[in-house]
Amino acid sequence: MAATVLITGCSSGIGKSTALKFRSACWNVVATMRDADRWTEPAIDGLLPLSLDVCDGDSISVALKTAFERFGTMDCVVNNAGAGLFSVFEATPMQTMQDVFETNFFGPLKVMRAAIPYFKQSGGGRFINVTSASSISPDPLMTIYGASKAALDSFSESLRYELGPSKIDVKVVIPGFVPTTSFIRQTQSAAESIPIPEPYQGYVHQRLQAYTTKLSFTPISEEDVATAILIAAADDTDRLRFTVGEDAEMMAHMRWETFEKAYNEWTNARFSPTSS
């Protein structure tokens, strides 16, 4: 029997690429998104598009039940769906911040808790949680997004020990900057609805310029991240984190392989406000 993977956030970008990557590797694929009608690929044998909203417990339950009944097993769940936010913390409504955490942190938790019984029926399984390089070295003005992804990273690290006796594993894939996804446009759109107080406008402009100038590293593609997720799904070691991209690898090096003084100097050089 072919292994089955359920992936969230498959309407475009990393999720869609990951679904197609797993199917090409002969997995049964459950490609989920808020509205399954947004799946625009031709029908593919062994690939089932389903509606699933990570903020809606009922839709999660229905999708998992439907997937298990269709394929008879559940072997891997990829928590990819996410929401971005570029904004000034002081001016960001609390509800907006809670919405980001609901999608990026509590949503994956709901999916995982609902999937555990299906993993147990299948004799074990694996969660792959897609975070962000911002969980390693958080960007200013993306404070809420980085915090939500860091929370998921920390949760994943401890959860794998809890689930180990049930033969359920946890992996974390950490992508760097992927400029071609709709995530960037959605993040910018969310930011436009939040006013920028005058004292912050100079720094906001500085940070926006940093995103639009020539990059000092080679950005990655959705395909690169999908490949890393597939590698994590097949990895039989105790490795937890899989970084993807030169920028993510540099952040991981500075955060975890240097002393705090060196890391602090590095982040100051990247993020400190310039004199006007």
Note whether 30 and 48 are within 8 A (CB): yes
Per annotation, catalytic residue among 145, 161, 200, 263: 145
Catalytic annotation on 145? yes
CA gap 18, 64 in Å, rounded: 18
Q: Are 17 and 228 in contact (CB under 8 A)?
A: no
Which alpha helices (DSSP H) does 52-200 contain, by range?
Answer: 57-71, 94-101, 107-121, 143-163, 182-192
207 neighbors 191 (Cβ within 8 angstroms): no
Rounded to 5 degrees, φ, ψ at 201 are: -65, -40
The whole-angstrom separation of Cα 4 and Cα 68 is: 9
CA distance 224 to 245: 8
Q: If you search the block for the tokens 């970084």, which residue do you land on? A: 243
Q: Is 167 in a helix, a strand, or coil? A: coil
Catalytic annotation, residues: 145
